[in-house]
Structures are given as C-alpha cells and as structure tokens.
Structure 1
Amino acid sequence: MSIMLVLTIVVALGLAGFFVGRGKAIAQLNAGADTGEGKTRPHSRPHYHGWWAFSLTVLPALIVLVIWSVSADIYLEQSAKSQLHDSLGHSENYSESLSLGMVKSLAGGLKRLDARELETLPQTYADVRRLLAGKGVALATEGQDVMVPIAVKWNKADELSSGLRGWVTIALALAGLIFGWMTISPSVRARNNVERIVLWGLIAASTIAILTTVGIVFSMLFQTINFFSAVPPAEFFFGTVWDPRFAAAGAADSHGQFGLIPLLAGTLYIALVAMIFAVPVGLFAAIYMSEYAGPKTRAVIKPLLEVLAGIPTIVYGFFALVAVGPFLRDLSAALSGGQGFIMAQSVLTAGLVMGVMLIPFVSSLSDDIITAVPRSLRDGSLGLGATRSETIKRVILPAALPGIVGALLLTASRAIGETMIVVLAAGVAANLTINPFEAMTTITVKIVNQLTGDLEFNSPQTLVAFALGITLFFLTLLMNIFALYIVRKYREQYE
C-alpha cells in the first residue's frame, strides 16, 4: 500500500472526524438549549471539538507512519549490507555503498516486472540487466549475480512492510476517530487541547529548522575532519596552488595540492565586481521607485525589475557565455587593434552578469527600507526649504542607511554562493591574479567538480569538497551575522 494512498485515507478520516465531532458538539448544544440546560455555557465552540477529533485521528497515525517508514528503510539497508558483506566482503574491490546503491537500483527495476516475469526471473545479473533494459531501466554494467536474490528479498520485505504499515496506520486513524467522537462533551476543554497542539506544532517547526542547520554542519564537519587527517590544515588554508590530482590509492604524492587561497580570492573578487555593478544600479532604482515614481509607474517598473530575480541562474550563465563574454572580447580586440585583452571567460564577465542578477535583490530590499522611513521626516525637511534631492541625501538615506547596509551584506552573501554563472562565465581555472580580464573560479565551482561522478568519500580529492563547503558556510554565516549586527545596532525606531 503506497504512502500517498495511506495519507489520503488518513486525511479523509480526519476530515470525517472534524465534521462528525463538530456536528455532535452542535447537537449537544442544541439539546441542552431545548431541555432548559443551555444556561451552562460549554467550554469550547463546536469547531474546536471538530479540530480535536481531527487531531486525534490524523496526528498519531502520521507519527506511526513516519517512524515505521524510516525504521523500515533502515532495516532493509542493514539487511542488504549484511548479505552483501557475507557474499562479497572478501573481494578486494568491494565497496559497500556502491554495491548497496546497485541493489537499490536493481530492486527498483524489478518492481516494473509483473508476477509471471518475476517467476521466470534469471539468476544472473547480466541476464536481468538485459531484461530490464527492454523495460527502459538502465543498470550498472559491473554487477554481481548475488545482487539479484538480495534485490528480490528487498522487494518482498518492502512489500510486506508497506502493507502492514498501511493497515496499522488506517486502524490507528479509525481508533482515534472513534475515541475523539466518544470524548466530545460540553465540559471537554477542546480549545485548550487544540491550541496546545498548535503550540507544539510551532515548536516542532522551529526545532526542525534548527536541527536541519545543525545536521548540515555536522554532515560536513565529520568529513572535513577526515580530510584534515590526510592534508594539514595549514596547507589547505594558506596554500596558493590548487591541483587535486586524482591518483591511484597508495601512489606517491597522490594527494596533490589543495590551496584554498586561489578559490577564496576568486570567490571574493567575482562577488566584488558583481556588487560594484549591482549596488549603484539597484540603489538608484530603489530611490527612483520610492521617491520619484508615481503609483502607476511604480506598479509597472517594480514587477518588471523583479522579473530578473525569477530567471534561473543557468540562463544567466548562457547569456554570459554566448553574449556578454564574446562582446567584451571583441570590444577589447577592437580597442587594442589586435588580439583582445579581455578573455571571454573572465572575472569581469561573471561579475557583470552576476551583478544583473543581483539588481532586484538590492532594489527590492532597499526600496522597502527607504519606504519605511516616516513621511514626517520628508515633510519636515521639505517644509524647511530643502529640495527633494537634498531631502534624499541628508534625511532619507542617513535614516535608511543601517537597513541598506544590512541588505547589501545579505546580497553579497548571495553572490558568494553563486555557481552556474561562474562555471559558464569565468571558467574553472583556479588562478590567483588581480587582473579582472582573466579567468578565475570560485569555491562553489570546485565543490561541484570534486563531487561529480560516482565517487567514494575515502580520498582527499573528494573529501576536500566538504572542507570547501564548511569554509563557505562559515564565510556566509559571518557575513549574515555582521549584517544583522549592523541593522540592530544602528536601526532607528520610528512611530
């Protein structure tokens, strides 16, 4: 029984519990009024009784469904790992995670076969692979025959678990519906119960957000520690050469060089060029929209400007690759009278295109901040004889400056994390240069490069991606903290 079907049935039972519970509460209220007992005011309104019945029906069932699903997946993986280790553990080229992934793919492909095909299923991996290829399922070529029975057992156990999970969840939902209906009475504090459930739901949502952040950090931290056990931290943080050679395990000098400085310099350099272009344009656009444009003009310009924020970054990368880069290269060639001094893939190209992408972030945030400045400050300045431009320079911008600085720092953290524009507009060469007309690359690009393909997290060449990731995480985190500090320290409170 699929999870979606079980969820649909549980939600349907929950809605039935809501209407049944509310109807019973209304009936009790009307019966008390008809018999002259209506003077005893019920504690909660009827719809609270309905939501209490809905909660008793849905929440316990969903909790069991989630716990069962997670536990079943863990059990299936551990069982498959044990069988694979018993059969293939003696092999020198055995990889637990890679073999488990192949078993999962094989089990998913076998689900497309009907009962007759499963009864006559070949016992060799090559034959099963050819059979599934006819069904449009692509499998890895280097599989072992022992994976076929393990995948069959996986599917049987998964099917049994799914059926039991569905019936247990539905039965629990029915039991909650019946219990909720039986407990409905005018004296039940249904409102308090529902509000308590909502409160715990809000706490759970906040906790999930925090735990997700903590989980991201620890998932990178442990792999980063493994990386620094093979590569000295000083070599990583202060190295000026990036050359992570993929050599055979045990070969001499197989680690290569993992200097962070070229990547960090490229990240900050490209972000700086982007901010130099985006900040004036975005800030002037925000000033125009908030102080000069009329309501009709603002209603047209602001949505059109914010359309830039909805364009995928890969599209910006294509634009840089086929338009901006060649244009700058040909322009420099025309100016120099020979070979152009601006490369098609360069810091300038990536910075300009990224700056275009950042314009709506700067303009929207700055526009909201400038608009929040009280009208009384404007009227007071104009009443004292100041012109509109003098009011903007001497009153509005100083009042909005803390918020604008915070918005710019948040925009800079967005620029530092960009990947696709840099790949297509600045290239992947880890150069250390101050010439904006040459190619450089960023941390995010190298993270993608190091984790591209089917790789094992057991060599410095792949583990370095986690070190780069946690470095970028702390870099953007510090920028965000500094932005919030600036906003809170210099924020003006207006009535």
Structure 2
Amino acid sequence: MSLSWLILVVLAIAAMGYVMGRARALKSAGGDSRALHSLPVYYGTNVAMWAIVPAFAVLLVWLLAQPIFVNSRVLASLSDITVADGSSMGLVMSDVRRVADGLDVAVQQGAMTVDAARTLTTEDTDIRELLGGVGVALGSSVSPDVLRGAQTYRQLTGIGSVVMTALVLIIALGGAAFAYARSDADFRARNVVEKGILVLLVSAASIAVLTTIGILFALLFNTIEFFRLYPAADFFFGTKWAPSFSGRGGASDLGVLPLLWGTFYISFIALLVAVPVGLFSAIYLSEYASPRVRSIAKPLIEILAGIPTIVYGLFALLTVGPILVSMFGKDTLGWMSGGTAVMTAGLVMGIMLIPFVSSLSDDIINAVPQAMRDGSYGLGATQSETIRQVILPAALPGIVGAILLAASRAIGETMIVVLGAGAAARLSLNPFEAMTTITAKIVSQLTGDADFASPEALVAFALGMTLFVLTLGLNIFALYIVRKYREQYD
C-alpha cells in the first residue's frame, strides 16, 4: 500500500471511530446528551484522536528510521572494496537506489518478473536493455556489488513497507477500539481531548525551536571542521577572497572581510531607499489617507512582498542596471563601467524592503491610542505637529524594530545580489563598482562538484554561521529595543 493510501485509510478509520464513539456515548446516556459528562463531539473526537495520533507517530518514526536501517544493511552487504573510501559511500548508495528504482519500474511495467529482479546479474544483457528501454541505465559500469546492493535494498524496502502498513493499521484500529470501549456517560472525554490538543500545540511550537537548533548544529559541526583546515584568524581578518579549488587550501585566500563589507554596503543602500519611502507611506496611510484610499493602497504596497526575489534580480539586471549605466556610465560621468554594481542591487533591494517597513510601521502607528492624538489637538497642535511630536516618538521603538528586521532581511538576500551586484569581492567605497555578499559566495562555493573535505567547500558553512550570528544578533537587538522602550498605554 502506498503512503498516500495508508494515510487515507487511517483517516477513514478515524472518521468511522468518531461516528461510532459519539453514538456509543449517547447510547450509554439513553440518548440524552445532558446525562453525559462532556459534549458528544468530545467522545467522537477522543476516538478519532486515538486512531490518528499513535498511528501517525509510528508512521513518522518508521519513515525516518527505515532509510537509515536499510542503508546500513546495504552498505554492510557490499564488499570492502566498494566502500573503502568513506567519502564514496553516498555515491555508492545513490547508484544502488538508482538501480533499485530501475528494477521496480521494470517489474511494474512487466519488463521482468520479481524472481528475475532478485536473480539479475550484470551479465544479463537482455534484462539491461529492457531496463534501459524504461529509462533506467544499467550499463556495463554497474558493478556486481552495486547490483547485489540494489537487490538487497529493494527487498528490505519492500519488507519494510509491508510491515509498516500492517503496524500502522493495527495501531490505528487498536487505538480506536481502546477509545471506543471507554466512551460511556461517565468518561471525561473533554479533559482527555483538551490535553491532547495542548500536546499538539506544544509540539507545533517545539518544531520551530528544534528546527533552529538543528540548523545551528548543522552549521556548527561543519564550521568547526573548516577551522581545523583553515586558520580562524585568516578567515575573520583576511582582506582577500580568492578560493583556488586547487588542493587542500594552501593557495586559497578565504578572508571574510570583503564579503562582510559588500553585505553591509548593499544593505545600507537598500535601507536608505526602504526606510524613508516605507516610513512616509506608513504615515500617510495611517494619518492622512481616507479609508477608501487606504483599503486600495495598502494591499498594492504589500504586493511587493509577494514578488519572488528572482524577479527582483531580473529587474535589477535588465532594467535598473542599464538605466544607471546610461546615467553614470562612460558616456556621461564615467563612474560606472557595467550594470552590475552595489547601487543596482541596493536600489532594487530597497524597493523589495518597502512593504516590510511600511506594513510594520503602519501597524505600530495605528497602535498609538487615539486619546494621545485628541489631547494634542486639544492643546492646539496641528496634524503635522501631532505626528512629529506625539505619534512618532510614541511609535519610535516599534519603528526601530521594524527597520532592524528589514535590515536582517536585506543581509540574507541572495538572488538580487547574484544578478544585480556582481561577483567581485573587494573593499571599496565606490557604490558603482561590482561587489558581492556572503550569501552569494555561499551559493558559489557549493555549486558544482564540491569536495566537502576541502576548505573551499567547508567555508560556505563558516560563512553561513557568520551570517546566522549577524542576523540573530540584529533580531535580538530589535526585540530588546521594542521591549525596553515600548510604552504601555491604558
């Protein structure tokens, strides 16, 4: 049974359990719901919950554990020669899975039988050609070990799927039967359901925390490995970025300062564009615009946040860059030699950040109590004076937090930088020169055939950790500003 069908069957069991549990509870109360401890819906929900939660928990654990177990058994079945090099295990397993998928496709389409798939050898030319006809390349390069591993992989995966299906269905039926037997008038179904919902909410909240921890450790271990191969002082204080990919890093210069400079320079120009425009638009929408204009303008501004960043990158490359070259290029002022530059990426990124600043600032300004406005008007202040002297000071902590969050978004941007700023890592004050950022170099270092045992590939994780710390620090500082200086109004 496929995974989707298994999930549908479990949901069907839960739906039937809901109806039967609710009916049993009402029957135990003589058909009078007032004699029940809880509402009838809680009894049905309790049965459905006992059918779904344990079954899906076992299904999730099985889906996570089965690939690990199968891969370990397959690797153990291969000869020592095949996996003598630890770095080639991933490639070997990739070949094994490819061949196993080919066997499955061939069996499903009738090109061969199950028994033939189990006894297939690399000398079976006709079978290889049949598999090639269904889009699977089992050529002469497939070694006997890989073919034997594919057969083991396919067999273990098939057995695991059957056992998983049976176990999940048994648990779903058992859980539903257990809850159904308890569905009587005296059972405190509401308490059980509410505790189950609480556990669900806590689990949902824990996912974000655990994901952050997982990302942190994934970066941390590879960063530590990088610093074992490359000096930390040269990385943090080096002023030259020139990876060579010619060995174990002996000829590579991996200083992060040029990348940090490009990141902050482009982000600074983006904020110079986004903060005034976003803040002024927020003031207009919250204080001056009529409800009709606000209902139209605010969604239109927020559409900018939904545009994919690759579209912004193409806009920077094909539109903004040529415009800047025509204004500041060799034929005019001579400041700009190409369309890719810090100014190009900064302007487009600033446009992208406008809805972040505008929307957050608008919400913060609207949160200022109307009584403060009325008091200012009562003292004779004009609307502009009220905005400058009352509303903006009251909303300033939140506005600062919005700006810092936008800065974090700018620091982590990739596609606009790749297409609009260029790929040159340099320390320069000229905004019309091409530069690059940390995110762009992370992409370039991990693109292509990267050897993850070399500093030139592992440096991407060190760059990612640096970026993670920077954005985390900005977010913490933004939350600190908002909480420390936020005024509490009655």
Q: TM-score w.r.t. structure 1 length?
A: 0.92
**Cα separation, partners in 2 of 1:333 and 1:208, compared to 1, 3 Å:** closer
Q: Aligned ranges for residues 252-263 of structure 1 at < 5 Å? A: 254=250, 256-263=252-259
* Distance in 2 separating the partners of 1:326 and 1:347: 14
Inter-partner Cα distance in structure 1 for 2:144 and 2:183: 60
Change (3 A) 1:295 1:411: same
1:60 matched to 2:54? The reply is yes
Distance 1:440 1:129 in 2: 51
2:268 alignment counterpart: 272
Structure-to-structure mapping, 1:255-404, within 5 angstroms: 256-333=252-329, 336=332, 339=334, 341=336, 343-404=338-399
Partner SS state of residue 117, structure 1: coil
User: Aligned residue for 2:13?
Assistant: 13
Which residue in the other structure is 1:451 paired with? Answer: 446
Q: Counterpart amino acid of 1:241?
A: K
Compute the displacement of 1:400 (Å).
0.4
**Which amino acid in the other structure matches residue 329 of structure 1?**
V
- Following superposition, the deviation at residue 141 of structure 1 comes to 10
1:196 aligns with 195
1:197 counterpart letter in structure 2:
G
Structure 1: distance between partners of 2:139 and 2:252? 30
2:90 aligned residue: 97
User: Contact 1:17–1:50 (CA<8 Å) still a contact in 2?
Assistant: yes
Aligned pair count reads 484
Cα displacement (A) at 1:87: 4.3
Letter of the structure 2 residue corresponding to residue 402 of structure 1: P
1:439-478 to 2 correspondences below 5 Å: 439-478=434-473
What SS does the aligned partner of 1:262 have?
Answer: helix
Normalization by structure 2: what TM-score? 0.93
User: In structure 1, how many angstroms separate the alpha carbons of the residues matched to 2:90 and 2:123?
Assistant: 18
User: How far off is 1:80 after superposition?
Assistant: 2.1
The answer to whether the 8 A contact 2:274-2:350 is kept is yes
Is the contact between residue 22 and residue 41 of structure 2 (CA under 8 Å) also seen in structure 1? yes
1:436 pairs with 2:431: yes
Q: Distance in 1 between matches of 2:443 and 2:137?
A: 24
Take 2:321 and 2:46, find their aligned partners in 1: how far apart are those partners?
62
Q: Residue 411 of structure 1 corresponds to which residue in structure 2?
A: 406
**C-alpha separation in 1, matches of 2:165 and 2:295:** 51
> 1 CA distance for matches of 2:304 and 2:140?
44
Q: CA deviation at 1:130?
A: 6.4
Determine if contact 1:410/1:483 at 8 Å carries over to the other structure.
Answer: yes
Give the Å deviation of 1:454.
3.8
Cα offset for 1:32? 6.4
Deviates more, 1:97-106 or 1:378-387: 97-106
Which residue of 97, 106, 112 maps to 2:105?
Answer: 112
| Alpha-carbon distance between aligned partners in 2 of 1:266 and 1:82, rounded to the nearest angstrom | 48
**How far off its partner does 1:108 sit?**
2.8
Please report how far the alpha carbon of residue 146 of structure 1 lies from its aligned counterpart in structure 2 after TM superposition. Answer: 2.4
- Distance in 1 (CA, whole Å) between partners of 2:347 and 2:196 is 50
Cα distance, 1:140–1:380 mapped onto 2, change above 3 Å: farther
- Matched to 1:320, the amino acid is A
Q: 1:277 to 1:459 in 2, by over 3 A?
A: same
Going from structure 1 to structure 2, the CA distance change for 1:331 and 1:135 (only over 3 Å counts) comes to: farther
Q: Which segments of 5 or more consecutive residues in structure 2 lack a partner in the other structure?
A: none
Between the aligned partners of 1:96 and 1:348, the Cα distance in structure 2 is: 46
Q: Say whether the 8 Å CA contact 1:347–1:426 is kept in structure 2.
A: yes
* Partners of 1:450 and 1:461 within 8 A in 2: yes
CA contact (8 A) 1:22 1:50 kept: yes
Alpha-carbon deviation of 1:389? 0.7
Conserved in 1, the CA contact under 8 Å of 2:83 and 2:92?
no
> What code does the residue aligned with 2:280 have?
F
Between 118-127 and 339-348, the greater mean CA deviation after superposition:
118-127
**Could you tell me how far 1:259 is from its partner in structure 2?**
0.1
Post-superposition shift, 1:415? 0.4
> Is 368-377 or 99-108 further displaced after alignment?
99-108
Match for residue 185 of structure 1? 184
Q: Is the 8 A contact 1:350 1:422 kept in 2?
A: yes
| SS state at 1:488 partner | helix
Q: Against the structure 1 CA distance between its residues 133 and 346, is the aligned structure 2 distance closer, same or farther, given a 3 Å change threshold?
A: farther
Change (3 A) 1:94 1:389: closer
Contact 1:328–1:342 at 8 Å: present in 2 too?
A: no
Matched, 1:50 2:44: yes
Contact 2:344 2:421 in 1 (8 A): yes
Q: 1:94 to 1:290 in 2, by over 3 A?
A: closer
CA distance in 2, matches of 1:241, 1:299: 51
Query: Does the alignment pair 1:482 with 2:481?
Result: no
The range that moved more, 255-264 or 271-280, is 255-264
Q: What is the Cα deviation at residue 358 of structure 1? A: 0.4
Structure 1 residue 336: Cα displacement: 2.7
Residues 318 and 236 from structure 1, CA distance in 2 versus in 1: closer, same or farther, beyond 3 angstroms?
Answer: same
Change (3 A) 1:174 1:456: same
User: Do the aligned partners of residues 355 and 84 (structure 1) sit closer, same or farther apart at CA in structure 2, a change above 3 Å counting?
Assistant: farther
Structure 1, 253-262 or 417-426: larger mean CA deviation = 253-262
CA-CA distance at 1:174 after TM superposition: 1.3
Counterparts of 1:110 and 1:410 in 2: how far apart (Å)? 51
